[in-house]
Structure 1
Amino acid sequence: MILAGGRSSRLGGVPKSGLVYDGATLLERAVAAARGAGALVVVGPRPDALPAGALTVREDPPFAGPAAAIAAGLDELERSGRPPAPWVLVLACDMPHAAAAVPVLLAALDAEPEADGVLGLSADGRKQPLLAVYSTAALHRGVRERAQAGTLTNAPVFSLLASLDLLTAAVPEHAADDVDTWDDAAALGVHGGPS
């Protein structure tokens, strides 16, 4: 599940998914990071190009935040009629080096498969709920519990995770670096589009 539907307000509304790093858009890099997944859903405006069979959905209302986006992505995967996967990889589209984290996250779950998931742990010690792998059943449970407690609109992602038994795994340096501002983009070598 790739989350690509934010307002990008600190980028003046320029969609992060279309920013470019090393010749590929950030969305293309996120799709590549999820390579090998049984199903792919992008939550956000429908992009121009996606791999065959990829799903798209929009959280309701649009721009309702990542918790609502995760719920919409789960619903879309369920509606697709594909066999449910035991695990869901959740990636924000604005992390150009996220692919380096995916094997680390999967290895952590291989070592402790009874966990409800694993969050990437950035070099500065921050838990990254949008660079994570979750048990599909546990994530559904977290969404239901949050929805029963109140709206998903603009809810913190961590509110979905409150009852989950989650591991953390230190990810490689820069794997969790994201683009929130143009200064972030410049520091990562990300630019506004094809030159």
Structure 2
Amino acid sequence: MTAYEFPGEPGTGSGPAQRPDPAAYDAVVLAGGAARRLGGADKPGVRVGGRALLDRVLAACAGARATVVVAAPRPTARPVTWAHEDPPGGGPLAALDAGLRHTTAEHVVVLSADLPFLEERTVDRLLSTLRASAAHGVLLTDPEGRDQPLVAAYAAPRLREVLALLTDRHEGLAGLPLRRLVAELNLTRISDPVASFDCDTWDDIATARARIREHGHVLDEWISAVKDDLGIDLDVDTHLLLDLARDAAHGVDRPAAPLTTFLVGYAAARAGGGPEAVAEAARRAEALAARWAEESAAEDQISGTRPQPDVAPDATPDTRPDAG
């Protein structure tokens, strides 16, 4: 198992003990399985919108204090702790039990690694619903109303109790289906046909890739992919930057648009980064573009009213050999 330390975890720092953060949560992502319906392909590594399915799920639970992935270690866009079930290939309950052993938060988000449309706001919704209820867990349902227990938030102590109960009852968790877990829990259900969409077949992969490229999705998907690939964990106002690019293109020159937005990003980084630094740099560049456009418009107006000099015909004789 490969492990990464996370700031603020018990045992990683010194000083007085702090009270547990009630808003903190851990995440367990199940990324094993044989992917038989994909012909045995490496499903977590299949790319949708330029990003591996596993990386897309890890982005959705980026707010987790600790993230455990139950699978063989691989390169990922975010640091995680790796775990594996015993015996290997023991199924989802055995994998969940292995992942939970590396978590300490009161609430845990449990996810499969094949959810292309899962977003952080959905994870937040699961958690906020759980915290506001007496339920043991909150899960999503698919368009047919079927439970999706691997897109859910759970009370970790109760989850451990049930897993221990099932272990004693069945002399282990290997091979047990997820419905055995669901049957023992008091659950709240939320319908979300988009976030609950998972990729079991190549047709599902094709559907996900096509949806991402639809008008209205492609820009957000592209920005998310770029941020993930560059390791940028920053939320910025994309409309602000697009407005700046438009003003630079129209008020200055078309190539000024991408160069100006690049310089704004560079200036924001030098100023310490963060959404506020980006907004301030963009504001200043937009004001400059406006002044530039005003000067150009004023100069055009002056040029239109200024008398133009008369230009006399050129009387210089043509001395070329072939001149007529």
TM range (shorter): 0.7 to 0.9
- Residue in structure 2 matched with residue 119 of structure 1 by the alignment: 139
8 Å contact from structure 2 (residues 140, 190) kept in 1: yes
Distance 2:29 2:209 in 1: 21
**Residues 46-85 of structure 1 aligned to structure 2 (within 5 Å):** 46-49=73-76, 51-52=78-79, 54-77=80-103, 84-85=104-105
Out of 92, 102, 125, the residue aligned to residue 104 of structure 1 is 125
Determine whether 1:140 maps to 2:140.
Answer: no
Higher-RCO chain (CA-CA 8 Å, sequence separation at least 6): 1
Distance 2:184 2:146 in 1: 19
Distance 2:198 2:83 in 1: 22
CA radius of gyration, larger in? 2
Stretches of structure 2 that go unaligned for 5 or more consecutive residues are 1-27, 211-324
Could you tell me how far 1:61 is from its partner in structure 2?
Answer: 1.7
Deviations 1:162-188 (A, max 9, x none): 2221111122x3211111111111122
Out of 40, 43, 58, the residue aligned to residue 16 of structure 1 is 43
Distance 1:70 1:58 in 2: 9
Counterpart amino acid of 2:140? G
- Residue in structure 2 matched with residue 80 of structure 1 by the alignment: none
- Residue in structure 2 matched with residue 193 of structure 1 by the alignment: none
Could you tell me how far 1:49 is from its partner in structure 2?
Answer: 2.8
8 Å contact from structure 1 (residues 5, 62) kept in 2: no
Counterpart amino acid of 2:83? V
Write 1 or 2 for the structure with the bigger share of strand. Answer: 1
Taking a change above 3 Å as real, the CA distance of residues 144 and 50 of structure 1, as seen in their structure-2 partners, is farther
Distance 2:57 2:188 in 1: 22
**Identity among equivalent pairs (%):** 39
- Residue in structure 1 matched with residue 205 of structure 2 by the alignment: 185
Stretches of structure 1 that go unaligned for 5 or more consecutive residues are 78-83, 191-195
SS at match of 2:102: helix
Distance 1:185 1:13 in 2: 14
Write 1 or 2 for the structure with the bigger share of helix. Answer: 2
- Residue in structure 1 matched with residue 31 of structure 2 by the alignment: 4
Could you tell me how far 1:161 is from its partner in structure 2?
Answer: 3.0
- Residue in structure 2 matched with residue 34 of structure 1 by the alignment: 61
8 Å contact from structure 2 (residues 130, 154) kept in 1: no
- Residue in structure 2 matched with residue 163 of structure 1 by the alignment: 184
Could you tell me how far 1:21 is from its partner in structure 2?
Answer: 1.1
- Residue in structure 2 matched with residue 94 of structure 1 by the alignment: 114
For these two proteins, the number of residue pairs brought into alignment is 181
TM-score (norm: length of structure 2): 0.53
Out of 125, 144, 154, the residue aligned to residue 175 of structure 2 is 154
Q: Which runs of 4+ in 1 moved over 3 A?
A: none
Could you tell me how far 1:123 is from its partner in structure 2?
Answer: 2.4
TM-score (norm: length of structure 1): 0.87
Distance 1:155 1:89 in 2: 20
Could you tell me how far 1:111 is from its partner in structure 2?
Answer: 3.0
8 Å contact from structure 1 (residues 41, 73) kept in 2: yes
Deviations 1:24-68 (A, max 9, x none): 11010110011111110000111123533x210111122211111
Deviations 1:53-89 (A, max 9, x none): x210111122211111100101233xxxxxx211010
Distance 2:137 2:77 in 1: 27
Distance 2:158 2:182 in 1: 9
